């Protein structure tokens, strides 16, 4: 492995070596970095730094761990015209992301009805592996959804118009083309819009345990003791199939034309080629699908809350929705010059500071909300983007706690039923998993310390804590 040294408290530099075209940088602590040495995470970061056309540096967030090609928690930028796109730098679950909406409820209101609320979520929202809605939408409707994103959901009354203003990209990536999405992907997606995925995908009812930044919390609508609802899921089978289709399309071309690839999982395509543009059009369609998926789940979750709590729950406004598996064209300064880059974020969240036009008007004076889920037994956080993120990380931050134990090892280490029982008895957290296996996979001990991850991004100055939220009710797919 190349040499790694700490160049700033919480920022480590992997010096360019061998095939690396740029240096690698890791945001973290010494203990988090030590954990990354135990698998392929740092080797994958060095491979990303070797890709043609990479600009300035390759980055890894403190929740980073081994992924497919790119490490999860990876950030890399390429020239938006002469660079490349790599499906591995976005991932199979395109636009896996997080949304958070607010309630007027207090934690004591929910504790009294935890089981009832969890049961209602399960009743209204299809959840788990292969979960589908009873009725599939038509192919023509799906084509419109893929290209229009949240605009489709507004028209179908799954979204309020004001919801759109609090979604990254306003819930619609321009340039999406349904024709770039295969019939197989569409077949997988027709019954999965409005469904919660498996594994670490969840609906979590939380309460705001602590406010760290009063001014920003007020702008976000957060108060101590307030109940909020977090949704974490992505583009389901449709997004997975888009990634699969284009990786299979890119690989024969890359092999035939002898593209430099330190790892075939990093297969890429130059942006000047038609195949790259087709992938981007399909990726954007999958991004739109995921925005609509989370929107429909939120509509169903709102209904569940109203059935249990009635009008006392309030208007249930959306705070924000962020993507953490995506590639986007953005303007960034590189060596003092503003350049248009295609920024790949895989398990990383955009964290733009106050003043950037991409931040919704409601939050532009404070910065972009950054939503960080922890594990089902610890804490989640709301952060806000900081100016230093533009200098350090192409305006990016972490996306969660990050796994420190494989799912297979977690299943053999923990008993799901016992975990759920202990969380209720000791923490008053009501967890309803689809299966006990899922509960074991998602054991809090299988994840890194989310508090340490947050301290790392704060220490480097790329984002700042606004609130810490504790779980009350967790529904796991």
Which pLDDT tens digit goes with each residue over 225-283?
999 999 999 999 999 999 999 999 999 999 999 999 999 999 999 999 999 999 999 99
Task: Give the number of other CB atoms < 10 A from CB of residue 35.
Answer: 18
Give the pLDDT confidence score for residue 1 in this predicted structure.
72
Residue with tokens 């790392």: 456
Assessment of whether the complete model's pTM goes beyond 0.85:
yes
CA angle 338, 340, 343 (to 5 degrees): 120
> What is the b/e burial string over 118-150, where b = at least 16 CB atoms within 10 angstroms of the residue's CB?
bebbbebbbbbeebbeeeebeeeebbbbbbbbb
Beta strand 84-85 with 72-79 is unpaired
Residue 440 to residue 417: CA distance in whole angstroms: 8
Residue with tokens 């670490």: 200
Fold classification of 4-85+93-404+447-476 is tRNA-splicing ligase RtcB (3.90.1860)
Give the pLDDT confidence score for residue 39 in this predicted structure.
92
Handedness of CA 64, 66, 67, 70 (dihedral sign): positive
Give the pLDDT confidence score for residue 200 in this predicted structure.
87
User: Looking at the DSSP assignment, which residues form a beta bridge with residue 385?
Assistant: 463
Residue 346 to residue 231: CA distance in whole angstroms: 18
Give the pLDDT confidence score for residue 129 in this predicted structure.
80
Question: Hey, which bits of 164-249 come out as E strands?
Answer: 202-211, 226-233
Give the pLDDT confidence score for residue 212 in this predicted structure.
98
How many helical (H) and strand (E) elements, i.e. helices and strands, does the chain have?
A: 16, 19
Q: Which of 109, 469, 470, 158 is nearest to 308 (CA)?
A: 109
Three-class secondary structure of residue 230 per DSSP: strand
Instruction: For residue 452, give the H/E element and its range.
Output: helix 450-460
Give the pLDDT confidence score for residue 135 in this predicted structure.
82
Q: Catalytic pick from 324, 399, 412, 428?
A: 399
- Start-to-end C-alpha separation, the chain: 38
Task: Give the number of other CB atoms < 10 A from CB of residue 37.
Answer: 11
Beta strand 23-27 with 54-65 is parallel
Residue 477 to residue 469: CA distance in whole angstroms: 21
Instruction: For residue 62, give the H/E element and its range.
Output: strand 54-65
Question: pLDDT under 50 in the chain at which residues?
Answer: none
Asked if residue 96 lies in contact with residue 290, where contact means CB atoms within 8 angstroms, the answer is yes
Give the pLDDT confidence score for residue 76 in this predicted structure.
98
Q: Mark whether 399 is an active-site residue.
A: yes
Give the pLDDT confidence score for residue 268 in this predicted structure.
98
Question: Hey, which bits of 187-317 come out as E strands?
Answer: 202-211, 226-233, 269-270
Beta strand 11-14 with 23-27 is antiparallel
Q: Which of 378, 358, 409 is nearest to 474 (CA)?
A: 378
Residue 247 to residue 283: CA distance in whole angstroms: 12
Give the pLDDT confidence score for residue 262 in this predicted structure.
93
């Amino acid at each position: 492995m190349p040499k790694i040294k700490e160049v700033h408290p919480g920022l480590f530099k992997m010096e360019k070596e061998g095939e690396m075209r740029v240096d690698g940088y890791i945001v973290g602590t010494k203990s988090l970095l030590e954990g990354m040495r135990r698998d392929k995470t740092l080797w994958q970061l060095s491979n990303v730094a070797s890709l043609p056309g990479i600009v300035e540096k390759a980055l890894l967030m403190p929740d980073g761990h081994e992924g497919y090609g790119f490490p999860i928690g990876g950030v890399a930028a390429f020239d938006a015209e002469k660079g490349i796109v790599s499906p591995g730098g976005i991932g199979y679950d395109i636009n896996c992301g997080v949304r958070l909406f607010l309630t007027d409820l207090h934690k004591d209101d929910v504790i009294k009805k935890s089981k009832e609320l969890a049961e209602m979520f399960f009743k209204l929202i299809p959840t788990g592996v292969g979960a589908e809605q009873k009725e599939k939408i038509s192919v023509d409707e799906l084509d419109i959804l893929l290209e229009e994103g949240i605009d489709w959901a507004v028209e179908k009354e799954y979204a309020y118009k004001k919801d759109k203003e609090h979604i990254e990209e306003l819930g619609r990536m321009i340039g999406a083309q349904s024709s770039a999405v295969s019939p197989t992907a569409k077949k997988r997606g027709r019954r999965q819009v409005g469904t919660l995925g498996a594994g670490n995908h969840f609906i979590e009812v939380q309460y705001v345990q602590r406010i760290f930044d009063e001014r920003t919390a007020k702008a976000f609508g957060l108060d101590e003791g307030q109940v909020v609802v977090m949704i974490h899921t992505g583009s389901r089978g449709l997004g997975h199939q888009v990634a699969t289709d284009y990786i299979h399309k890119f690989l024969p071309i890359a092999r035939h034309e002898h593209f430099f690839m330190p790892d075939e999982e990093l297969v890429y395509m130059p942006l000047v080629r038609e195949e790259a543009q087709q992938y981007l059009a399909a990726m954007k369609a999958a991004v739109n699908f995921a925005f609509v998926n989370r929107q429909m789940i939120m509509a169903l979750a709102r209904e569940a809350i109203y059935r249990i709590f009635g009008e006392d729950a309030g208007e249930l406004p959306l705070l924000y929705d962020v993507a953490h598996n995506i590639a986007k064209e953005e303007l960034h300064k590189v060596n003092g010059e503003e350049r248009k880059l295609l920024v790949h974020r895989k398990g990383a969240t955009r964290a733009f500071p106050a003043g950037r036009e991409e931040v919704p008007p409601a939050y532009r004076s404070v910065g972009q909300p950054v939503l960080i889920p922890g594990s089902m037994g610890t804490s989640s956080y709301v952060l806000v983007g900081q100016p230093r993120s533009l200098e350090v990380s192409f305006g990016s931050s972490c996306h969660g706690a990050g796994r420190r134990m494989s799912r297979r090892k977690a299943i053999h280490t923990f008993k799901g039923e016992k975990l759920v029982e202990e969380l209720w008895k000791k923490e008053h957290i009501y967890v309803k998993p689809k299966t006990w296996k899922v509960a074991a996979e998602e054991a809090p001990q299988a994840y890194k310390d989310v508090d340490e991850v947050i301290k790392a991004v704060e220490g480097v100055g790329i984002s700042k804590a606004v609130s810490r939220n504790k779980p009350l009710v967790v529904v796991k797919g």
